[in-house]
Amino acid sequence: MTTFSNPLLFSQHFNIDPAVLVAAGLIDPFLTVDTQLFIDPILLDKSGNKLIREDAYQTFRTHFQRVVRLLAICKREGDPAWKAAQWQMSLREAPANGLGYGTSDRPGNSRPEELRDAMLRTAKEIVELGAEDPEMISLMGFFEEDVGPDTISDLTSRVVQPQLAKLTNEFCGPLGIPMKTSEATPEIALPHYTNASGNERAIVLVPSDIVRELPIARSWDDIEAAINANALIRQRVNALLASIAQPTVTDRKDALRSAAMQSKDVFEAFIAAVKENATYYDPNIDALGYYRLKEILQSNKDTFKSNQKYDVAKGIDEIKKVVRDTIERFAHHVEKGNLWEALWIGDKPKKERAAQLIYFAMSDCFCEANDIDISPEANMGGGPIDFKYSKGYHARVLVEMKRSSGTVVHGYEKQLEIYKDASRTNQGFFVVLDYGGLGKKLETIQNIRNERLARGEPASEIVVIDASKKLSASKRE
């Protein structure tokens, strides 16, 4: 489990105004955890940054044109052309850009060779259709179950690393940010960060208009948009899925693969449809709450000061008091202020993670502002986020947050208990974000809680926050 505590932004570490990064069209990355966005190579030639739009895009195409040519002359797996293509398709994780899953402090990891070879086999099939567009590599996640957007992002990052390094150097130089060459970047000086363990690494910055959301769950939405743009593929996919009552993502990918690979023309039309529908992560929509998270972390901490006094050294009850107050503060801003607006996109609630990250930012600022000797720790893996507040080994409190439309009963009855057991604590808060449609779920989990208490067992507290859309503060009476 990857954890996130004591968040540190690039702008904070190097003492620069975050607005300068925004003006330059660059992401202000966390140095202590990866942001779950990924570089989409399909967006390279759409970038507003000329270096990326022209040089990086051409570098990407040239690199994978070599792969396509090698696969075209490959007679069998293991021959010289195949081995050369394997070398070109290095899946070693690109360090230093602060994107993807997990912490940025870890070194790059090589993904399994089987995954690389699966991508090459699919690419070989496409080449045998007669298609030669090197951007086919961008679409491997559509056809291969284990090829996630983080794999494509890392592959792209490694190929366009020279342009990202140059962009970073040119941005940091005029600002006086210290830079140097290192083993990772022997030719271009870059800023470096040394973590708490003493490990140093180089940092590259990434334009905000070439990144997309890194899916929390494997989503069909992006694939569906591309399918709907091509009638021939849509008909074929629908026909293949018609006999399956509840098709899995694997079923759907298999159907898409079959449909898109009908012919060279159909496959090339599919690439065109994907490119046309591809859009970058929009900070105005901020579907995952990353920009709001950063905004809160960069705000004036005095606004988070409380009249209460906290002495977490006294034990678990005092920690629970802190946690309860962070939840109440978050709830107040959602229910009485305008924070609810950050939890909606039009008429649809944002993903659960948006609320979770905003709560994390507020609780972190609250603890800092009130000089509380604990920091919230969030797991930042691919699944739901849970939060841990701890002082020493034994005093631990967990917080789990669920949307009313989600698996509320399972979350309270099973999931939170599993997290508590793993953290060796029986203290927890279960927060329900009520966007509507809660129905009898609340009554069910309240009954579960009451039954546990009646048996003398520990039972997590339940907090419901009204996250429904409201009139703006100026229009309320």
User: Do 79 and 179 share a domain, yes or no?
Assistant: yes
Tokens standing for residue 8: 């540190």
**Mean pLDDT value across residues 311-338:** 92
147 and 20 both lie in a single domain? yes
Q: What is the pLDDT of residues 149-199, one digit of tens each?
A: 778 888 899 899 999 999 999 999 999 999 999 877 788 999 999 887 888
User: Is the domain of 131 the same as that of 148?
Assistant: yes
pLDDT bracket for residue 431 (50, 70, 90): very high
- State which of 169, 196, 215 marks the end of a domain: 215
Tell me: do 370 and 258 sit in the same domain: no
Cα 152 from Cα 388, distance rounded (Å) = 32
Mean pLDDT of 256-278: 86
The pLDDT value recorded for residue 412 is 92
Q: Once rounded to an integer, what is the mean pLDDT over residues 53-65?
A: 95
Of the residues 234, 261, 281, which one is the last residue of a structural domain?
281
21 and 128 together in one domain = yes
Parallel, antiparallel, or unpaired for β 395-403 and 428-434?
parallel
Whether 206 and 221 map to the same domain: the answer is: no
Q: Is the pLDDT of residue 423 over 50?
A: yes
380: confidence class by pLDDT, cuts 50, 70, 90: low
Q: Are residues 456 and 471 in the same domain?
A: yes
What pLDDT sits at residue 219? 54
Query: Mean pLDDT throughout 452-461?
Result: 92
Q: 157 and 237: one domain?
A: no
Co-location of 201 and 250 in the same domain: no
Residue 222: per-residue pLDDT: 58
Q: Which domain holds residue 109?
A: 3-215
> Mean pLDDT: which of 104-108, 271-275, 344-348 is highest?
344-348
| pLDDT at residue 94 greater than cutoff 80 | no
Is 346 within 8 Å of 435 (Cβ atoms)? no
Q: Are 334 and 186 found together in one domain?
A: no
Looking at the fold, whether 61 and 107 belong to one and the same domain comes out as: yes
Write out pLDDT tens, residues 270-279. 888 888 878 8
What's the domain count of the chain? 3
Closest by CA position to 152, among listed 136, 130, 132: 136
Average pLDDT over residues 444-466: 94
Higher-pLDDT residue of 433 and 220 is 433
Same-domain status, 321 and 458 = yes
Mean per-residue pLDDT for 109-128? 83
